[in-house]
């Protein structure tokens, strides 16, 4: 395509985008009063954190959510990482009166990060981390090649390890069978095939060092296909149960299930199961990383502790909580609980810092803070190779990472600046540890 054709295409694309925005305004904002209704209902902690891609601007989704009939009298909160998301904005805290909106929690129910502090020091690691990275990639299935048949998926276990099968049978099988009896369409066969597996590029295994040179292990993943299937089922169920009433909502994707409905208890039970699955998933991966680490550090250091400190921090979940004297069902998506002195994790990009934090219990954020940095550029607008290599050059420490066909989707320049995010949520959490990445693995 020559320069003239590119310019013509850009102009046409701009006009199309403008028309789409105008069209969405006419559909969702038929009255001026609707805009006025947002006032006092939306607490933003994202100022001075603009998104580069207009299609990632969350302001329309936030306005629709803030005027939802079930939103609390105290409104909702948008975290510094907030950006446009599938069916609902990401980086939000949504307190509801007597209802849940499955689409807000999303399809990766229970997604979060586990952080393990080890007793190892950076100086005790091998000079090159390449062999360690390859060993972790071998021991932790990641990515996916088939979502239809897990037995054919290289991101799932073709043969489930005995320890994982035992864990599944003991802690997850009975509850999942109960969900299957209540909602057969909501479950998949052999969910244990994805227990202890990573997923796609947004998820990662990382090793980092803190300000005292202690080595940490971070694992970011969720409930994989079992959780996605549950999320899809209950999102669809919410629309079906509301029927034509769903069209009276600011957005039909925000269909809700009322507390008085039988489906309400079913959703909360499924959501709890998915969170439990996701937590075990992260724990199993972290244990695998520790085992690989033992095999690759010098023999004199192999008796290190792999869990001096363990933090598990979900960021897509529902919880019944009391805020400002009222009880709500609080939905967090891309946000973590940050009650006073509660420990959490805020993840940076693969070349930038992450943070172990303590919450301040800020009331206007509903005792929450951002889970990470949030995208500023959509996946369809990949970063350039130059952007990525520049980020590597500017990193504080050499980074051992997997080169993947999809890594440009999650290149550092596609995200907001983590330092700016932490400044924006300075009243929501305090920094306890600053983590610098030294190894990173993403799926493909």
Q: Report the 10 Å Cβ neighbour count for 420.
A: 13
What pLDDT does 200 receive? 79
Q: Could you give the CA distance from residue 98 to residue 257 in angstroms, rounded to a whole number?
A: 9
Q: Could you give the CA distance from residue 69 to residue 281 in angstroms, rounded to a whole number?
A: 36
Q: Could you give the CA distance from residue 409 to residue 141 in angstroms, rounded to a whole number?
A: 20
Q: What angle do CA 406, 134, 392 make, to 5 degrees?
A: 55
What pLDDT does 20 receive? 41
Q: Spell out, as residue ranges, where the chain has pLDDT lower than 50.
A: 1-34
The residue written with tokens 């904005």 in the block is: 89
What pLDDT does 413 receive? 75
With contact defined as beta carbons under 8 Å apart, do 194 and 424 qualify?
no
Instruction: Summarize pLDDT for 31-82 with one digit per residue, the tens.
Output: 334 455 566 789 989 876 766 666 678 888 898 899 999 999 999 999 999 9
The model carries a pTM of 0.89
What pLDDT does 11 receive? 39
Q: Could you give the CA distance from residue 214 to residue 122 in angstroms, rounded to a whole number?
A: 6
What pLDDT does 119 receive? 98
Phi, psi of 289 (to 5 degrees): -65, -40
Sign of the alpha-carbon torsion through 352, 354, 360, 366: positive
Q: Could you give the CA distance from residue 292 to residue 139 in angstroms, rounded to a whole number?
A: 8
């Amino acid at each position: 395509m020559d320069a003239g054709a590119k310019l013509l295409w850009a102009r046409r694309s701009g006009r199309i985008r403008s028309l789409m925005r105008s069209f969405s305004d006419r559909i969702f904002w038929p009255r001026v009063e609707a805009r006025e209704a947002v006032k006092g209902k939306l607490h933003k902690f994202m100022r001075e954190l603009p998104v580069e891609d207009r299609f990632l601007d969350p302001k329309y989704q936030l306005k629709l959510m803030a005027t939802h009939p079930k939103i609390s009298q105290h409104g909702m909160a948008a975290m510094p990482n907030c950006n446009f998301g599938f069916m609902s904005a990401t980086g939000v805290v949504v307190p509801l009166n007597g209802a849940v909106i499955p689409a807000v929690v999303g399809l990766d129910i229970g997604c979060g990060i586990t952080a393990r502090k080890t007793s190892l020091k950076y100086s005790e690691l091998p000079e090159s981390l390449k062999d360690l990275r390859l060993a972790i990639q071998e021991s932790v299935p990641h990515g996916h090649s088939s979502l239809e048949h897990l037995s054919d998926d290289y991101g799932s276990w073709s043969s489930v390890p005995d320890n994982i099968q035992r864990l599944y049978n003991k802690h997850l099988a009975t509850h999942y069978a109960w969900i299957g009896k209540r909602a057969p369409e909501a479950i998949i066969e052999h969910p244990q095939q994805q227990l202890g597996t990573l997923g796609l590029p947004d998820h990662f295994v990382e090793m980092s060092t803190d300000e005292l040179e202690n080595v940490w292990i971070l694992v970011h993943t969720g409930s994989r296909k079992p959780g996605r299937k549950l999320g899809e089922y209950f999102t669809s169920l919410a629309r079906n149960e509301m029927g034509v009433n769903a069209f009276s909502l600011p957005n039909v994707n925000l269909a809700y299930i009322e507390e008085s409905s039988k489906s309400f208890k079913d959703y909360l039970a499924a959501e709890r199961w998915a969170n439990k699955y996701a937590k075990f998933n992260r724990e199993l991966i972290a244990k695998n990383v520790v085992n690989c680490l033992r095999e690759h550090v010098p023999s004199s250091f192999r008796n290190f502790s792999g869990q001096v400190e363990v933090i598990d921090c979900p960021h897509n979940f529902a919880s019944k909580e009391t805020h400002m004297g009222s009880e709500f069902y609080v939905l967090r998506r891309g946000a973590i609980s940050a009650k006073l002195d509660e420990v959490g994790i805020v993840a940076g990009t693969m070349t930038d810092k992450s943070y172990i934090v303590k919450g301040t219990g800020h009331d206007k954020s509903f005792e929450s803070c951002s889970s990470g940095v949030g995208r500023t550029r959509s996946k369809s607008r990949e970063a350039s190779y130059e952007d990525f290599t520049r980020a590597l050059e500017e990193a504080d420490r050499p980074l051992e990472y997997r080169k993947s066909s999809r890594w440009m989707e999650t290149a550092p320049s596609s995200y907001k600046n983590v330092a700016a995010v932490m400044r924006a949520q300075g009243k929501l959490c305090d920094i306890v540890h600053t983590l610098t990445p030294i190894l990173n693995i993403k799926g493909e």
